A and B are shown apart, each in its own frame.
Chain A
Amino acid sequence: MIQSIVRKNAYYDSVTLMLISREMKSIEGVEEVLVGMGTDLNLDLVRNLNMFDANLESITPNDLFIAAKFNEEFVTMEQLVESFEEQINRKKDASAGDYRPPTLRSAIDHLEGANLVQISIPGQYAAEEAETALRAGLHVMMFSDNVSINDELRLKKMAVEKGLLMMGPDCGTAIINGVPLCFANVVSRGKIGLVGASGTGTQEITVRIDQLGEGLSQVIGTGGRDLREEIGGLMMIQGIEALLNDPETEVIVLVSKPPHPTVEKKIIDLVKQADKPVVIDFIGGDAASIVDAGATPCLSLEDAARKAVALLRGEKVVDFDGFDASEEEIEKLVSGSAAKLSAGQKYLRALYTGGTLADEAIKYLGDHYPIYSNIPLTPDRALANLEGLNGHICLDLGEDEFTRGRPHPMIDPLTRADFFKTHVNSSTAVVLCDVVIGYGAHENPAGAVAASVSEARERLKAEGKDLVVVASVTGTDKDPQGLDQSIASLEQAGVIVMPSNAQAVRLVDLIMEKVSA
């Protein structure tokens, strides 16, 4: 039976509700269930699932609904509502006694010395709140997306005028004064400052710097569109200037996808004047202008971290495109992996939750053989052009097409678990994964990958086949999930864990070369 209930004026955030929906789906007798606010997007999802009924006709985005398709022999709507109540109360327990002001203005009055507003409300409302924050002289970190580029420009201009940070929209990562914001890792404080337009790219560089024994002074996010022509790099420039003026920062790292040429010129001109060493990773971009500006270009995110550390320590700066392990150890891993595979196992499945990490993989591997992707290097390699599953695949599972009605795969591992089930089969040779831990991320993403790997292995075993899985963990031993525990649970499932995404990608390249030979 299909039924829905509506609660007027009961607001909860989307991630909380999506995670509860997922939990409720596992109740016996429930075929489909969606808990959400009455937004157009959510109502479209309900219609697509054929669960729309008269109850939902006059709903507003301020009202909560539960829509379910279920077998009444096993469960009733009342029981589903009870399950919802129980879960929402459990989530609220930790901070139940905290005062929660109803508006930003009242929060500013209430939190003495407040200096930053972190915004992750739905995009159509986010710009107005950011403007209120900036007008009050507060810095802004905006995780919300779906904010117009005109609003972004207006807000960033206002921030620059007032000397404030406007990180975002769509900014997932920053570490200010040692505090990780949104999706960020717990790294040591130190002397390297970073400005990043790409979230997981920033995370990967910061954790590698931490692992190399150095730390970060400040990590400023800009949001992915900052280096477009329309925005003109306003926040990256603001960030660079702040780091140049910061006595704690001795080396500066910049990371983004290749900027628009006019924006690149502005940044390069600023870098030319810099009195501190600057390392630049314009992922896949041209190195010549970086060298001309007296800055240091990079081969990978890990290479950026290594070069920043070398510059800080006054050591020789060299390109790193190899492995931490010896040549013999790598050769052993490659031949051992190839030996596990049987005839007909020849395809790669790279299943990424981090966009920049996926980008790094496809740019390296896509040079060597055709890879089908939702972020293809050329339009003919779009996933839609792949016949069946006969080809190499690299996916950024955090892209919009995979996250409708679901939290980002860094929060909810279910999307990747589903792809393990549908896209890893007897023709798969190697699976490549990222595991991003830290604040904001799922409580145990490594455990989720390990479970998917074990399930896939079990499935292939029935056909007398095995599987090679290579991963890297973007995280530190200070993160809540723990780097060591994450690595251990992957290794227990037989995953080869490499020290960085770049090294994982290079190892996969060698294994695939061996397999195709």
Chain B
Amino acid sequence: MSVNELFKRELKVINMGLESFYEELRSQDVGTIHVDWKPAAGGDKKMASLLGRLKGL
């Protein structure tokens, strides 16, 4: 969807990270969902990069 197409649609937001941003969108009745995000591979950088490469295949 191009930027100008986005301008014509209802904004629907996926939030990842600070929950307060999600709560604020929610309080304004904006369509939103919060991802229960955690660092990939338990924060193990080596494992995360390996997983990242696998996803790219």
Within 8 A of A (CB), among B1-29: 1-4, 6-7, 9-26, 28
Is B44's CB under 8 angstroms from A102's CB? Answer: no
Number of interface residues of A (CB under 8 A): 66
A245 and B4 in contact, given A102-B36, A116-B12 (Cβ under 8 angstroms): yes
**CA separation between A164 and B6, bound complex, in Å?**
9
Q: Does A238 contact B (CB under 8 A)?
A: yes
**CA separation between A112 and B34, bound complex, in Å?**
14
Is B18's CB under 8 angstroms from A13's CB? Answer: yes
A248 and B7 in contact, given A95-B26, A107-B14, A114-B14 (Cβ under 8 angstroms): yes
Is A115's CB under 8 angstroms from B17's CB? Answer: no
How many pairs of A and B residues are in contact by the CB < 8 Å rule? 169
Measured CB to CB, the closest approach of chain B to A10, in angstroms, equals 9
Is A125's CB under 8 angstroms from B40's CB? Answer: yes
Q: Does B46 contact A (CB under 8 A)?
A: no
Is A116's CB under 8 angstroms from B21's CB? Answer: no
**CA separation between A242 and B8, bound complex, in Å?**
12
* Interface of chain B: mostly helix, strand, loop or mixed: mixed
Closest residue of chain A to B42, judged by CB?
A62
Q: Does B30 contact A (CB under 8 A)?
A: yes
Closest residue of chain A to B40, judged by CB?
A125
Is A62's CB under 8 angstroms from B39's CB? Answer: yes
Closest residue of chain A to B8, judged by CB?
A177
- Please list the residues of chain B having a beta carbon within 8 angstroms of any beta carbon in chain A: 1-4, 6-7, 9-26, 28, 30-40, 42-45, 48, 52
Further 17 A-B residue pairs, CB within 8 A, beyond A113-B12, A116-B14, A239-B3: A14-B18, A62-B38, A98-B33, A107-B33, A113-B9, A114-B14, A117-B15, A118-B21, A120-B16, A128-B40, A129-B16, A133-B14, A138-B14, A176-B6, A238-B3, A242-B3, A242-B7
19 pairs, CB–CB < 8 Å, chain A vs chain B: A11-B39, A13-B18, A15-B18, A62-B42, A102-B38, A110-B33, A111-B31, A111-B32, A114-B13, A116-B13, A120-B21, A129-B16, A139-B3, A164-B1, A165-B3, A165-B6, A218-B7, A238-B3, A239-B3
